[in-house]
Structure 1
Amino acid sequence: MSPDLRLRPEDRVGGGPVQPAKPKSRAKPARKASVKTGTKSAKAPASSRRARPRKPAKRRRGKGGGIGRTIGRLVYLGFVLGLWALIGVMGVIGYFAMTLPPPEELAVPERPANVMVVAADGTVLGNRGETGGEAVRLFELPPYLPQAVMAIEDRRFYSHFGIDPVGLARAVFVNFTAGGVRQGGSTITQQLAKNLFLKPERTIRRKVQEVLLALWLEHKYSKDEILEMYLNRVYLGGGATGVEAAARTYYGKSAREVTLAEAATIAGLLKAPSRYAPTANPDLAEERAQTVISAMVDAGFISDDDAKLALISGAEMRPQTPGEAAGYVADWVWEQVPSFIGEVRSDIVVDTTIDMRMQNSAEAALVRVLDEQGAEKGVSEGALVAMDTSGAVRAIIGGRNYVKSQFNRAIKAKRQPGSSFKTFVYLAAMEAGLTPETMRNDIPVSFGDWSPGNYSNKYRGPVTLTEGLKDSINTVAVKLTAELGTERVIEAAHRLGIRSEIPNNMSIALGTSEVTPLELVSAYVPFASGGYGVVPYVIRRIRTTEGELLYERSGDGPGQVVSPYAVGEMNYMLKQTVADGTGRRAGFDQWPAAGKTGTSQEYKNAWFIGYTAYLVAGVWLGNDDGTPTKKVTGGSLPAEIWHAFMAEAHEGLAMADLPGDYQPRGNEPMVASGETQPWMQDPASQTAGYDPSAQVRPAAQAPARNGLFGQNGFFKRLFGG
């Protein structure tokens, strides 16, 4: 073993045992020692500096202490940031709140008024206005309808304060996990606030205002009131605003009567009205309704058995009205209402004169004939008007298909009536003293450059006026107009109800002056009523939904406009038109009926206007663009439609004859040397100031010149003109 040569403590200079070293101190090291040399100090020698003890190291802290301080700092930082965020949010809210009216000035805007149009039997023909349906009270609805809405839109509606934090958090989570918008966090109150006060824009400002307004609504109104307002103002597709309008649109019934399946379908529309409308996507609508029903079960609104029954029964689509053409009636009524009661400020009900059986029969007859023969005959459109002898419109069809065209040709389309205008020529002749047996010569005639011919291009020589009218001979009508003077014919037409302007020229004898179907039909009513004129009407009564009467029709019209004797003469001649004249295809079941065909130039318009003791009806066929048909005459398709409609309309009625008792007395000779009148021998004399009316013998029974437009007529007396 090698000897230990290391120095021992005893061997050191100064000997003695060595004291154990003291532990290092935490205290700061002393300042550097200085060695005084004379008057100046000097740094200690290097050996002294090396012998100085080293600076003790700081003791490291344990892990627990460091994490605690970090958490504390984070909590503090979070508190500060949260406080500043709160201040920022409050500032933003305050800023946008300043853009709203003061709470005391806020008011829920009035819901746009609805006009419900109903037939004589109470059938709803349609709703007009911005909403498409009347407002309903919450207590009037079956409970499952508002429950369906809450189940799919806002289950905690009755428990939150206008904003649903739980629903909002769920929507945020679902949307975040789905990577897109799958759910909305808006409550029913928020949606109502948006619909009532705000524009459909996606901005922070609008969202903040929506929240503030929702809080205001919750403070101002009860939950039931908020839910009722929402159900009456939410848009549900198809032009329907509110559940009542939706129920009428999709199921043809009131929201008060919908089934559970129908209620679920309506509630399902809230997500996307166009996409889930049963009229557009029935499969998607059904799928969405099933989702709503499941949500109702989850929310505890209905039982499993109720859900199963609803899923089995389903929701069957029904038309809004019994027929599409009812839309023409509803539109016409909507246009007239302000003239009776002024501005419509609340929901009203308008009772009309429409007979639903006649309305449906008229539509069916018109559409069937056009579908079967329209394309072949080159005719695409038609119109029909029917009214009773008081002027009450019982049916009105404004076109072939209301959905495709809402233009009401029955009341707005002015067309040449053709030979159906000849009735007024012959009436003027009867009033001037001629009779149905009066003779006229059917021969070519000219007036300057105008030479009207007959439809057949043939001439029959001497004929009675009855033959001239029933066979629609043009030359006879023109000669009568020349004899009587155009003014007398125009006055007769206006007196009976033609309101359109009639130009003062000879061609009016052949129906070149344009009229609407409505006014032409009303002008034929005096022949069915015994000489009494009418002002056609469709509105019987207007009332509020609470039952307050706003308007009710009264009055008898303009009174007698044609003498009973002249009515008898005209009915005698016009009955022959249906019996064996141009309108023979219109006759039905031996009913005493009369009428007149009409075909305008180039076959552009075809008419049949006819009547019984109960009803007057007129049919027009043609094309909207005025193109000619393929030789459709008034005695063909229009007479067929008239026949089909009138036969059904008269089912169950007791047969009655037309007014007037005229017995033919045999043919009369031509009046005042008819064969030698200057216009017959020298057509050019018509331009030389000849007055043919001077050749007509005085009327045996002239009617009173009052009527609608005469000197003492109805409108003159009404407006003091």
Structure 2
Amino acid sequence: MKRVKQTACVLLWSTGALAFLFCLGSLHLFASGLDRLTRDLQLDTAPEASLVYDRHGNLVFSFASEDRTNVPLDRVSPAMISAVLAAEDRNFFRHAGMDVVGLARAAWVDLKAQAVKQGGSTITQQLIRNVLLSPDRNLERKVKEALLALRVERRFKKEEILEAYLNRIYFGSGHYGIEAAARGYFGKAAAALTVSESAMLAGIIPCPSVCSPRISPNVAKTRRDIVLEAMRKGGVIAAEAYTEAASATLALAPERHDPYTTPHHESVAHHSDGATGLYFLEAVRRQVMDQFGVADVLEGGLRIYTTLDMTLQEYAEEAVATRLSQIDRSRRLQGALVAIDPRTGEVLALVGGRDFHTSPFNRAMQAKRQPGSAFKPLLFAAAIEQGYTPSSLVTGIDVPIQTRQGAWLPSGEHEAASYTLRQALTVSSNRAAVRVMQMVGITTTQTYARRLGIRSPLPAVPSLALGTGEVTLLDLTSAYGAFANGGVIAPHTLITHIADRSGAIIWQSSIEGRPHRAIREGTAYLMSSMLADVMNRGTGAHARSEGFRRPAAGKTGTTDDYAD
């Protein structure tokens, strides 16, 4: 009997020891998992919109999977910080991650109401839940949340935690983070929020789906007043400030619509409805996604600084819309426009069609069309580079050219027996142009076209002189820029530089494409002079008859049956 008792005692102690060791092992694994989570935690890894700026540094658009723009804490209104602390965690700067007093108070409120009326989670716990844990309501998650909060508070400063929280929290209506919410609801930066606006945003945090002022303005107002009362009781604001903020009306900014999905008419395309420059922005989006990938563009918080001049862009869109309405009532014709600074190659304005939503195909950059007589300046520049001058005489223009298909003589409306180069370009003589290319050579013509920035392949046929080779409007405009820039061509670009979310520059256009000499300075001067004659008394003189008086040089161009 004594031996049985001894055996039972040994078994009992052994079982207890094993259970104790098992519990210790489980706790060790649990703690190790928490330590690993805390060690690997990064507070600033939330998806962030990539912001697009115009040439003057004004924010004009963003590319994002979530509407979120991170800002440092010193760029958040003090009123907003006070409102969040009053509403969500009044003891934030005094506790170590868990607020025992706040937890007890919430439990007492819930007990009296016999329902869950008030949460006891601190800002740190809410951040942990948002970053590391699932939203499931169970004991395991609550324990992990509390223990992780204690670890996070030891690793990060209070200001870092609060900054991460404000940049991550959801404020309803698709706005993530305080900066996106401030701009989305009030059309201003987070630094400029008033007491009343701050209280309203803080009141949204517990119930963003139903407390948004765009969905439930009355609920949002009630929530705002609750936060204001908490701020007054906590001594954050004086009685006068409370009264003023509580009596303020909810003045929301117009709701922003995605211009990519919001149709608009060309008659109002230049208005501030978020629809300006969509062809330009789409081209920028394609470029940065090709360079950095979809994830970095939509979630990486890139800062994309473009060459876009919004004022010129508005004028460009209005000009295209006005001209199309004058010549085409069927609304089937399309138009395109490119404006480039020839000194830098920076594209200042770009219109790729009548309406982006009807047809997003970019006719300024993607369409390859025959330029017609607009190609002739490139040919004549090649001739001057080969030693000819504007006064060189072009003869024999009525002699047919022998081709594989037989003798060929181009038709033309402005033909004489002979012309100087200047005269031939002024009247846009087709036969003289073909004769000039005979003098220069097809290969030489192609070579100079490439030097002037034409990237598409050009056919080695006599009709190339008449612009039968297909080019993009952007390339052709860039080529003309060499005439205005002393023979130097600056590769065209839509973006000056790109920075990461910390502000470090990670790409610059000046590194990838540098200006280079395409033709001699004297050639560029002579070509500009000849093209000025085209505008003053040649095929472009109609612009003068319409009242245009500024110095200008240019060339008209059409294709057969005026298709272009």
Q: TM-score, normalised by structure 2?
A: 0.69
Matched, 1:136 2:71: yes
Q: Distance in 2 between matches of 1:153 and 1:451?
A: 87
Q: Distance in 1 between matches of 2:110 and 2:361?
A: 47
- Contact 2:200 2:227 (8 Å CA) reproduced: no
Change in Cα spacing, 1:363 to 1:297, as seen in structure 2 (3 Å) is same
Matched, 1:395 2:352: no
Match of 2:179 among 239, 244, 269: 244
- Contact 1:542 1:552 (8 Å CA) reproduced: yes
Partner of 1:592: 551
Q: Indicate the structure with greater helix content.
A: 2
Q: Distance in 2 between matches of 1:288 and 1:380?
A: 49
Matched, 1:567 2:524: yes
Change in Cα spacing, 1:183 to 1:413, as seen in structure 2 (3 Å) is farther
Partner of 2:480: 524
Matched, 1:317 2:272: no
Deviation at 1:364, TM superposition (A): 3.7
Q: Structure 1, residues 134-153: CA drift from partner, whole Å, max 9, x if none?
A: 53222332122234445665
- Contact 2:80 2:199 (8 Å CA) reproduced: yes
Q: Distance in 2 between matches of 1:293 and 1:359?
A: 41
Q: Structure 1, residues 676-709: CA drift from partner, whole Å, max 9, x if none?
A: xxxxxxxxxxxxxxxxxxxxxxxxxxxxxxxxxx
Partner of 2:193: 258
- Contact 1:363 1:397 (8 Å CA) reproduced: yes
Deviation at 1:491, TM superposition (A): 0.9
Partner of 1:106: 40
Q: Distance in 2 between matches of 1:380 and 1:276?
A: 46
Match for 2:231: what amino acid? G
**Identical residues among aligned pairs (%):** 34
Change in Cα spacing, 1:482 to 1:388, as seen in structure 2 (3 Å) is closer
Partner of 1:124: 59
Gaps of 5+ in 2: 1-22, 258-270
Aligned counterparts, 1:479-490, within 5 A: 479-490=435-446
Deviates more, 1:540-549 or 1:392-401: 540-549
Change in Cα spacing, 1:103 to 1:318, as seen in structure 2 (3 Å) is closer
Change in Cα spacing, 1:90 to 1:248, as seen in structure 2 (3 Å) is farther
Partner of 1:221: 156
Q: Distance in 1 between matches of 2:194 and 2:328?
A: 41
Partner of 2:261: none
Matched, 1:511 2:467: yes
Aligned counterparts, 1:79-478, within 5 A: 102=36, 105-108=39-42, 110-111=44-45, 116-127=51-62, 134-150=69-85, 161-162=97-98, 165=103, 166-167=105-106, 188-198=123-133, 209-210=144-145, 212-236=147-171, 241-248=176-183, 253-260=188-195, 262-263=197-198, 266-267=201-202, 270=205, 283-284=214-215, 286-287=217-218, 289-301=220-232, 303-311=241-249, 314-317=251-254, 324-325=275-276, 335=287, 353-369=307-323, 376-380=330-334, 382-397=336-351, 410-436=364-390, 438-439=393-394, 441=397, 447-449=403-405, 460-462=415-417, 464=419, 465-466=421-422, 468-478=424-434
Deviation at 1:110, TM superposition (A): 4.0
Q: Distance in 1 between matches of 2:402 and 2:377?
A: 22
Deviates more, 1:423-432 or 1:127-136: 127-136
Deviation at 1:229, TM superposition (A): 0.4
Match for 1:590: what amino acid? R
Match for 2:531: what amino acid? L
What is the root-mean-square deviation in Å for CA atoms of aligned residues?
5.0
Match of 1:498 among 434, 439, 454: 454
Q: Distance in 2 between matches of 1:201 and 1:373?
A: 63
2:254 counterpart SS class:
coil
Q: Distance in 2 between matches of 1:96 and 1:193?
A: 16
1:566 counterpart SS class:
helix
- Contact 1:535 1:557 (8 Å CA) reproduced: yes
Q: Structure 1, residues 350-377: CA drift from partner, whole Å, max 9, x if none?
A: 6555444334433443455457766634
- Contact 1:328 1:396 (8 Å CA) reproduced: yes
2:417 counterpart SS class:
strand
Deviation at 1:596, TM superposition (A): 2.2
2:336 counterpart SS class:
strand
- Contact 1:523 1:533 (8 Å CA) reproduced: yes
Change in Cα spacing, 1:96 to 1:550, as seen in structure 2 (3 Å) is closer
Q: Distance in 2 between matches of 1:318 and 1:326?
A: 19
Partner of 1:69: none
Partner of 1:79: none
Q: Distance in 2 between matches of 1:365 and 1:148?
A: 48
Gaps of 5+ in 1: 1-88, 604-630, 634-721
Deviates more, 1:472-481 or 1:538-547: 538-547
Change in Cα spacing, 1:370 to 1:355, as seen in structure 2 (3 Å) is same
Match of 1:577 among 509, 524, 534: 534
Match for 1:140: what amino acid? R
Q: Structure 1, residues 141-200: CA drift from partner, whole Å, max 9, x if none?
A: 2122234445665666567744764547767998969xxxx9877654344223322467
1:121 counterpart SS class:
coil
Partner of 2:6: none
Match for 2:39: what amino acid? E
Deviation at 1:528, TM superposition (A): 0.9
Change in Cα spacing, 1:173 to 1:106, as seen in structure 2 (3 Å) is farther
Deviation at 1:410, TM superposition (A): 4.4
Match for 2:520: what amino acid? S
Q: Distance in 2 between matches of 1:381 and 1:218?
A: 60
Match for 1:139: what amino acid? D
Deviation at 1:244, TM superposition (A): 2.2
Deviation at 1:450, TM superposition (A): 9.0
Deviation at 1:593, TM superposition (A): 0.6
Match for 1:591: what amino acid? R
Deviation at 1:487, TM superposition (A): 1.4
1:597 counterpart SS class:
coil
Aligned residues: 505
